[in-house]
Amino acid sequence: MEKSSRNGRDEWTPEIILSLRENYSLSSFLSDARAGILVSTVAFPLFMTFAIASGVPPAVGIITCVIAGTLACLFGGAKFQIVGPTGAFAMIVGDIIGKYGFEGMTCALLMAGIMMIFFGLTKTGDIIRYIPYPVTAGFTAGIGLSIIAAQLNNFLGIQSTVAPTDFVERLCSCVTDIGSMNFPSFGLALCSLIFLEVMQKYRPDMPRYFFVLAAGTIFSLIFNDGGMATVGSRFGDVSCRLPDFSIPSAVFSFSNLKKLFPSAFAVAFLGSIESLLGAVISDNLSGQKHNSNTELIGQGIANLGSAFFGGIPATCALGTTSLNVKAGARTPVAGLINVLCLLLFVLCLGDFVKVIPMSSLSAMLLSAAWNMASLKKNKYILSAPKSDSFVFIATTSVTLLADIVVAVEIGLALSAFLFVKRSVETAATETFSQTIIGENNVEVECECVKIHGHLFFGAVPILQNALKALPKTGDIVYIDMRDVPFVDVTGVKVLREFVIETKGRNIQVIIGGLNKRTLKVLKKTDINNDLEGHLFEDPLDEESGQRVLSTVRKFPQNVANAIFTAFTLLQH
């Protein structure tokens, strides 16, 4: 049953409760179990890989997906979300840990979780979906390319003496340290990458990441003589222990909270976008509907739980969520089964994690990051209007060269500026004079201004120029606003000033063709009643060659006659 058939009381109810009370059966459970088991074979290597890309041991990735994945399934508003560490967070988490340490990252994650809950409670989820696609595509592409640059050393088997964090420095490091390249490690990475790409093209339903992980582990056990970097050699003890509940001391420092706020907002913002994007994708695949605001609350609770138990930021993993739908999942129970299987994998395969080659993991990361960048899929943006292409390129570049917070700010600012520019370019006015016939065949001179487009601060100069150009020698000025869908306070100010100035010349002003929205705005902001008697919903009749008027009087002489005249004019 879709959410459209649910009553208002279900608005804040988690999806798992709604699903279980809607005739959940044994066949539904079997479908969820089958999907959860299949998804876990893909999620296990990916979540470890993204944890490593974030600069933390793989065990932290497993803790994150277990804690956050469970809470997201229990409190979220979507049926099919698979939650855990993702590539979208890799660069942010690594940057926060590099600047403030793991405790600082935990503090930022707690703040981000609270922000996401706030987004949901205030129904911000409906607004986040309106972020321009060139912005989201731009910073996603930038994150993907950053991950690729960060993994080139592992992919090539280079034993780098430094750990650069800048995109350009990472590329330069590969060139500088190319002499320390380990060829068996590079050969394994290259074969793994080729296998992943071939499997993705011809057998996308197979758990290709799990196969690469298993093959790399076997290769390491048989052929590694100590020259190939492994998870154990890089991170030391990687055993997964039961997480302990803790609250970082940095939370109680206002100065730390102030410093970490931008990073926390970046985590909350990106996590919200990824979560809602995954929900929309799963809706399109399944024909179901999610609750955006409940989903944000669930994601916020999931990240709070991850922070309290030593995890890292988590959000919807788009690839595994899509696989979950395609595998036949019906409810969030599939996500819980996925978590249970991940725990079993850790218990059964935990001793083998330390011998996994970093080259195999780097191949998986390169494949996932290239898919995340989606440069081939998004190349049509470069053929779109120049403004959209510019926003995409700028957001991608700033993500690579600065950070995602600045990139999103610049992307949104550019999008807003270019939207205003396009709106101004579509705004226009027409001015013309018309002789109309009043009572007793008296000719009355009417000067007309017709406005096209939004009447807002950017388009106001166009209207001002048109009004100033009027000769103002006739008896009536008619402003036609039938093609104006929106007016802001700046537009109201210009109209009000024009009416006041024109009335001083004994010229009647009629503003007609107003839709209900613009009429409401004009009346609401007309505090001094300067526009009273000048505003009408009906437009002037332009079909007949002659317009019938009551006798037009000079406005200051008889207000009642002027208003009656305007109504008669508009009716005809």
Interval 379-390 mean pLDDT? 84
Comparing CA positions, the residue from 52, 75, 38 lying closest to residue 341 is: 38
pLDDT for 163: 61
Q: Are 118 and 349 in contact (CB under 8 A)?
A: no
Task: Report the greatest alpha carbon distance in the chain.
Answer: 109
* pLDDT, tens only, 473-490: 778 888 999 999 999 999
Q: Does pLDDT of 557 surpass 50?
A: no
Strand 476-483 to 508-512 pairing:
parallel
Asked if residues 482 and 559 have their Cβ atoms less than 8 Å apart, the reply is no
130-144, 158-172, 192-206, 293-307: range with lowest mean pLDDT: 158-172
The answer to which of 13-27, 106-120, 213-227, 291-305 has the lowest mean pLDDT is 213-227
pLDDT of residue 53: 84
SS3 515: coil
Rounded Cα gap, residues 339 and 302, in angstroms = 13
pTM, entire model: 0.73
pLDDT value, residue 160: 67
CB-based contacts of 486: which residues, under 8 Å, 6+ apart?
Answer: 454, 455, 456, 517, 518
Q: Tokens 């590969």: give the residue.
A: 174
**Region 279-287: what's the mean pLDDT?**
85
Q: What is the rounded average pLDDT of the residues 382-411?
A: 85
Which is nearest to 544 in space by CA: 447, 440, 434? 434
Least confident among 53-62, 127-136, 257-266: 127-136
Q: What is the mean pLDDT of residues 12-20?
A: 91
Q: What is the mean pLDDT of the chain?
A: 83
With 70 as the cut, is the pLDDT of residue 562 above it? Answer: no
Residue 225 reports pLDDT greater than 60: yes
Per the model's pLDDT, the better-predicted residue between 321 and 87 turns out to be: 321
pLDDT of 515-535, one tens digit each? 999 999 998 988 888 888 888
- The residue with greater pLDDT, 449 or 252, is 449
Q: What percent of the chain has pLDDT over 90?
A: 29
pLDDT value of residue 75: 95
The predicted structure's pLDDT at residue 541: 55
6 — pLDDT class (breaks 50, 70, 90) = low
pLDDT at 239: 64
- DSSP classification of residue 178: G
Specify the pLDDT at position 552.
36
On the question of pLDDT at 568 being above 50, the answer is no
Q: What is the pLDDT of residues 80-132, one digit of tens each?
A: 999 999 887 888 888 888 888 888 899 999 999 999 999 999 988 777 767 88
**Alpha-carbon span 253 to 399, nearest angstrom:** 29
**With contact defined as beta carbons under 8 Å apart, do 69 and 44 qualify?**
no
How high is the pLDDT of residue 4?
44
CA distance readout (Å), 39 to 66, 184, 209, 308, 325: 14, 31, 11, 26, 10
Least confident of 215-224, 451-460, 551-560: 551-560
Domain 427-571 has CATH 3.30.750.24: yes
pLDDT bin (cut points 50, 70, 90) of residue 564 is very low
SS3 488: coil
> What are φ and ψ of residue 216, in 5° steps?
-65, -40
* pLDDT bucket at 195, cuts 50 / 70 / 90: very high
405 vs 465, which has greater pLDDT?
465
376 Cβ neighbours under 8 A, 6+ residues apart: none
Where is 105: in which H helix or E strand? helix 87-121
- Between 562 and 441, the more confident residue is 441
Lowest mean pLDDT among 80-84, 197-201, 236-240, 299-303: 236-240
- Per-residue confidence (pLDDT) for residue 549, from 0 to 100: 39
pLDDT above 50: residue 560: no
Q: What percent of the chain has pLDDT over 70?
A: 87
